[in-house]
Each structure stands twice: as structure tokens, then as C-alpha cells.
Amino acid sequence: MIELLTVISIVAILSALAAPSFVSLIASQRIKTAASSIQAFLNLTRAEALKRNASVTMSPNSGTSWNTGWKVTDPASGVVLYTATTASALTITGPDSVVYQRSGRVGAAATGTFKLASTKTPDIRCIEVNPSGVGVVTSSGC
């Protein structure tokens, strides 16, 4: 009986020590997942612009806050083509919108940087949208 209590105590202590790093790991993975999703949606928006031979926009779901997710719309008709949501506890900043021209490129005003962070980990991800319309993900400072 004493051995069982000793083992349970050791497991409880080790679990308590591991919990904070596990929270950080989960937050870091959420940032990576959201960065991959934004990059995929940038590529999707670019492909839609090329396919439709018309401008297509990627913008936040609500107002100018990317924290709740993003959508791809056809500005000519206002039809929302695709949407995505994000995990809670992420802070995502970026340009007001990214407009891909029918050539698959973005104008100079549409270039910008997305920054993804969380209060639960020091890790960040940055996605720079260059004039050719490609989103490049980095894990260094924005």
C-alpha cells in the first residue's frame, strides 16, 4: 500500500511539472496550424483569381480582426467562396485585406505581413505576402 501511494505521489508531482510546458506546446502547435492555414488560403485565393481571370479578395471574417478567421470573396459579386476559423487564444494581425489580381499577383498596397502569436508561448509565426502573391512563413521576428 505504501508503495502504491509513493508511485501515485511521484506521478502527480511529475504531471504538475509537465503541465506548463504542455500548455506552451499546444499553443505553439495552434500558431503553426493557423500559419499553415493562412498560407494555404493565400494560395487558394491566388488560384481562384487565376481561374476566374478576375480579382479575388482574402479578408477577415469580421471587420479588420483576423482573430476570428478569414474568408475568400469575389468582390464583383460579393459571394463568399471559402471561410476558415481559428483556434481561440491566438492573436493574428495583418493587412486589412489581400486582393489578388487576375494575374495572380497582388498590388503594392496589398502586400503585408501577418503576425501570429499567443500569450501562452513565446513562439510567433510571420507570413510575408510579397508582390508576386506568395506568402512566406518564418518563425523569426516580423
Amino acid letter, 3? E
pLDDT tens string 21-53: 778 888 889 999 999 999 999 999 999 999 999
**Which pTM value belongs to this model?**
0.83
Structurally, the chain folds into a number of domains equal to: 1
Confidence of residue 18 (pLDDT cuts 50, 70, 90): low
- Nearest-angstrom CA–CA distance, 50 and 78: 18
d(CA 35, CA 25): 15
Question: What pLDDT does residue 20 have?
Answer: 65
Confidence of residue 12 (pLDDT cuts 50, 70, 90): confident
Residue 5, pLDDT above cutoff 80: no
Residue type, 50: L
The whole domain housing 87 covers: 2-138
Write the pLDDT tens digit of every residue in 114-127: 999 998 888 899 99
Which CATH number characterizes residue 103's domain? Answer: 3.55.40.10
List, for residues 54-107, the tens digit of each pLDDT value: 999 999 998 888 999 999 999 899 999 999 998 778 999 999 999 999 999 997
